[in-house]
Amino acid sequence: MANTNLDESVQLADILFPDIPVGRAAEILAASKPRALPEGACVTRFAPSPTGFLHIGGVYAALISERIAHQTKGVFILRIEDTDKQREVEGAIKIIAQGLGRFGISPDEGVLPDLSEAGAYGPYLQSERLDLYRVFLKELVARGGAYPCFCSTEELDIARETQELQKVKTGYYGRWAKHRNISAAEVAERLARGETYVVRVKSRGADGEKLQFTDLVKGSLSLSVNDQDSILLKSDGYPTYHWAHCVDDALMQTTHVIRGDEWLSSAPLHVELFELMGWTIPQYAHIAPIVKIDETGTKRKLSKRKDPEANVEFYFKEGYPISAVTEYLLNLANSNFEDWRRENQNAPSEKFVVRLDKGSVSGALFDFVKLADVSKEIVARMTANEVYSAVLAWARENDSEFVLWLEKNSDYAQKIFNIEREGEKRRKDIAKWSDARNSIEYFITAPTEFVLSEKVSAADARAILEKVSEVINVEDTADVWLTKFRALAVELGFAPDTKTFKTNPTAFKGTLGDVAGVLRVALTGRTNTPDLHQMMQVFGMDEVHARIDRAIAKLG
Ligand code: GLU
């Protein structure tokens, strides 16, 4: 007997879910308070699966969702989609919640960084909501919108092979959906025999029909409607993502579903589910993934397996300032961020208004050089003390030897970090905290080599260093220091500046820069360092003399 009327559907629902009282769904809905939010407030959520890995693309989606919620005075939820028990990894929820916490992405509801739960619309772990999925599925079955399917894998395989042979669309739909009109009596019999089943939606869609769909990132789209009787409840009693997220987003009153665009093709099914339940359909924003150009020149998604930078741990380990990664992600999210930052140099990045319609449609290209630039700008705006504290915090997790030095030489280290940090021209040599040690290494250990540039002879180098030792005083102001330094260069036959040198190159042994180069290499062993005068002030007169003497000795 075919299931042709509503009474039959109600019977079917009772047979499938005998433990759920009639009217339970309505009761739950009635008990769920409408959110009291200002006009235009968005309720968004980040809904990761706990797979033991926080993908930078996840942080990107979470950041956009959090910003959209908070800039509209709405609510941001962290919901854990843990219905696939095979993929779940121990400790994964902590990795997600604390990872987001380090990025300053704080949920108002759901799982918090200390793993407690907040909010009146929970629980926020899907595995703790299994009864809710059943309650509302009973309701959907009773409305004639879903039914049990007892097909075995073999039967489904045979159907697919037949479809392929006949060159028709594959899947479980229309006339191929064998059990879509199964009678309540047959279901009762099969259940009595202990047969396993899944529950499928009874799709109303037909092949070829279109759905006008407005996506807040991708714009107005014409998508094929859903015509597949997709699985909503698996044979193990767990819901599929399709069903679980509909129930959750309806009950949590999500207004904006912001998620990866791999879900765009399932959106028509989701719209159908909301419609079948008579629920308000949320607005959708399908964001393009973060992509990279790989070694072969192909553009592809950042891959969890191939790209270390896909995992947020990478940024923590390398010591990128979190605010830099956040700014970089905002840059990827909205290309006008850069202009905004230029005009609002000191404003916190939360002041930037994220717009979904300004997002990349095809994929935001990840670029390390750009990330480093953003980061160097941010570090350049920090005080020496802030840099010191951040480097120390990073070193505590990654470089215990450096920690000892930093703790023992706290004042000295801050003086070093303060070089070129107060004036107009700020140093931009640190992009990540793991760069710090190398960038100040020569303050920790004096150079052991003295390699002269070919531009200056050993005799001139000796004369320069001896003269510096004689006349330079690190206590001098920058102006006095420069005047003295220029005078000694001229006295030794070098041009006082590049312009003078260029007017008559043969008249000079070289430029002021060459003289500075000798001193720089003698003091640091490097050709590229911050301002000499400021460095010498930090070294102090004794250290300057000691290093110059050692360099002279190396000249033989
Ligand atoms: N659990 C889904 C995922 O990790 C969530 C997608 C969504 O935001 O709805 O992709």
Judge if pTM exceeds 0.85.
Answer: yes
pLDDT digits (tens, 9 = 90+) for 89-144: 889 999 999 999 999 999 999 999 999 999 999 999 999 999 999 999 999 999 99
- C-alpha angle 302-304-307 in degrees, rounded to nearest 5: 60
Residue 234: C-alpha distances to residues 197, 238, 243, 277 (Å): 8, 5, 10, 19
Cα separation, 13 vs 137, whole angstroms: 8
What pLDDT sits at residue 36? 93
Instruction: State whether 305 and 391 are in the same domain.
Output: no
Nearest atom in ligand 1 to 48's CA: 4
In sequence order, the 6+-apart residues with CB closer than 8 A to the CB of 347 are: none
Tens of pLDDT along 411-423? 999 999 999 998 7
Q: Give the pLDDT mean for 458-484.
A: 94
Nearest CA to ligand 1 atom 3: 48
The residue to mutate among 83, 95, 125, 263, having the most atoms of ligand 1 within 8 angstroms of its beta carbon, is: 263
Residue 99 lies in a domain: no
User: Ligand 1: which of 46, 81, 88, 255 to mutate, judged by most atoms within 8 Å of the beta carbon?
Assistant: 81
Query: What is d(CA 374, CA 419) in angstroms, rounded to the nearest whole number?
Result: 20
Per residue in 175-208, pLDDT tens? 999 999 999 999 999 999 999 999 999 999 998 8
* pLDDT higher than 50, residue 147: yes
Same domain, 267 and 347: no
CATH of the domain at 246: 3.40.50.620
Distance 71 CA to ligand 1 centre (A): 22
Average pLDDT estimate for 529-555: 95
What is the 39 CA–ligand 1 centroid distance (Å)? Answer: 27
In a domain, 101, yes or no: no
Q: Do 256 and 158 sit in the same domain of this protein? A: yes
* Distance separating alpha carbons of residues 499 and 486, to the nearest angstrom: 14
d(CA 87, CA 50): 8
Q: Judge if 254 and 199 occupy the same domain.
A: yes
Residue 394 pLDDT greater than 60, yes or no: yes
Q: Ligand 1 pocket: which of 54, 245, 266 to mutate (most atoms <8 Å of CB)?
A: 245
pLDDT over 80 (residue 5):
no
Which residues are within 8 A (CB) of 532 and not within 5 positions of it... i.e. 6 or more apart? Answer: 516, 519, 520, 523
**Cα 198 from Cα 35, distance rounded (Å):** 34
Q: Using alpha carbons only, give the angle 309, 56, 232 rounded to the nearest 5 degrees.
A: 130
Q: Is the pLDDT of residue 2 over 60?
A: no
For ligand 1, pick from 43, 49, 60 the residue to mutate: most ligand atoms within 8 Å of CB: 49
Is there a single domain that holds both residue 418 and residue 369?
Answer: no
DSSP E strands: which ranges in 247-382? 256-260, 283-287, 290-293, 299-301, 364-365
Cα 464–chain centre separation:
52
Between CA 356 and CA 362, with CA 358 as vertex, the angle to 5 degrees is 95
For residue 553, is pLDDT > 50? yes
Does residue 50 lie within any of the structural domains? no
Distance 47 CA to ligand 1 centre (A): 5
Using the structure block, give the residue that is written with the tokens 């605010």.
323
Nearest to 198 by CA among 152, 244, 155, 164: 152
Please write the tens of the pLDDT for every residue from 228-269: 999 999 999 999 999 999 999 999 999 999 999 999 999 999
Q: Return the closest-CA partner of residue 520 out of 505, 537, 532, 507.
A: 532
Q: Residue 523 in contact with residue 506, Cβ under 8 Å?
A: no
- Asked whether 267 and 245 are in contact (CB, 8 A), the reply is no
Q: Determine the residue of 53, 56, 241, 264 to mutate for testing ligand 1's pocket, defined as the one with the most ligand atoms within 8 A of the Cβ atom.
A: 241
Tell the residue nearest (CA) to atom 1 of ligand 1: 48
| Residue 444 pLDDT > 50 | yes
Do 262 and 141 reside in the same domain of the chain?
Answer: yes
The last residue of a domain, from among 249, 272, 287: 287
For CA atoms 135, 138, 143, 148, the dihedral sign is positive
**pLDDT band for position 395 (50/70/90)?**
very high
**Nearest residue to 287 via CA among 259, 249, 310, 267:** 259
Distance of CA 224 to the CA centre of its chain: 31
Mean pLDDT to the nearest integer, 47-54: 93
Indicate if 9 and 137 belong to the same structural domain: yes
Closest ligand 1 atom to Cα of 61: 8
In this prediction, residue 555 carries a pLDDT of 87
* Pocket of ligand 1, beta carbon within 6 A: 47-49, 81, 241, 245, 257, 259-260, 263
Average pLDDT, the chain: 94
Asked if residue 71 is part of any domain, the answer here is: no
Task: Find the 261 Cα to ligand 1 centroid distance in Å.
Answer: 10
8 and 142 in contact (C-beta within 8 Å)? no
Instruction: Confirm whether 258 is domain-assigned.
Output: yes
H-assigned helices in 336-367: 337-343
The total domain count for the chain is 4
Same domain for 465 and 372, yes or no, is no
Q: Residue 33 burial by CB count (10 A; 0-12/13-18/19+): exposed, middle or buried?
A: exposed
Structural domain range at position 330: 293-357+365-380
pLDDT recorded at residue 424: 79
Angle at 548 between CA 543 and CA 553, to 5 degrees: 125
Q: Whose CA is nearest to atom 4 of ligand 1?
A: 48
Query: What local confidence, expressed as pLDDT, does residue 90 receive?
Result: 86
- CA–centroid distance, residue 80 to ligand 1 (Å): 9
pLDDT at 4: 53
117 forms beta bridges with 111
Same domain, yes or no, for 170 and 214? Answer: yes
Q: Which atom of ligand 1 is nearest to the CA of 258?
A: 8
Assigned token pair, 234: 């698996």
Query: Of 412, 442, 472, which residue constitutes the final position of a domain?
Result: 442
**Residue 439 near residue 429, CB atoms below 8 Å:** yes
Centre of ligand 1 from the C-alpha of residue 87, in Å: 14
User: Which of 328, 345, 380 corresponds to the end of one domain?
Assistant: 380
Spell out the residues 6+ positions from residue 112 whose beta carbon is closer than 8 angstroms to its own: 78, 97, 101, 106, 118
Distance of alpha carbon 107 from alpha carbon 135, whole angstroms = 27
Model confidence at 315: pLDDT above 50: yes
- Angstrom distance (rounded) from CA 436 to CA 61: 30
Rounded to whole angstroms, the Cα distance separating 121 from 177 reads 36
Q: CA–CA separation, 236 vs 233, rounded Å? A: 8
- Which residue has a Cα nearest atom 5 of ligand 1? 47
Is residue 279 located within the same domain as residue 315? no
Number of other residues whose CB lies within 10 A of the CB of residue 165: 8
Q: What is the DSSP string of 69-133?
A: HHHTT-EEEE-B----TTT--TTHHHHHHHHHHHTT---SEEE-TTS-EE-SS---BGGG-HHHH
Mean pLDDT, rounded, for 525-554: 95
> Is there a domain that residue 410 lies in?
yes
Specify whether 434 is located in the same domain as 542: no
For the domain that residue 472 is a member of, what is the CATH number?
Answer: 1.10.10.350
Q: State which ligand 1 atom lies nearest to the alpha carbon of 81.
A: 1
Atom number, ligand 1, closest to the C-alpha of residue 46: 8
**What is the predicted pLDDT for the residue at 361?**
84
Token pair for residue 140? 């959907």
- pLDDT(406) > 50: yes
pLDDT category at 3 given cuts 50, 70, 90 is: very low
**HEC letters along 150-184:** CCCHHHHHHHHHHHHHCCCCCCCEHHHCCCCCCCH
How many angstroms separate the CA atoms of 146 and 137, rounded?
8
Does residue 268 lie within any of the structural domains?
Answer: yes
What's the rounded Cα separation, in Å, for the pair 87 and 11? 36
Tell me the one-letter amino acid at 554: K
The answer to whether residues 536 and 504 belong to one domain is yes
Q: Is residue 448 part of a domain?
A: no
CA distance 179 to 151: 8
State yes or no: pLDDT of 211 exceeds 60.
Answer: yes
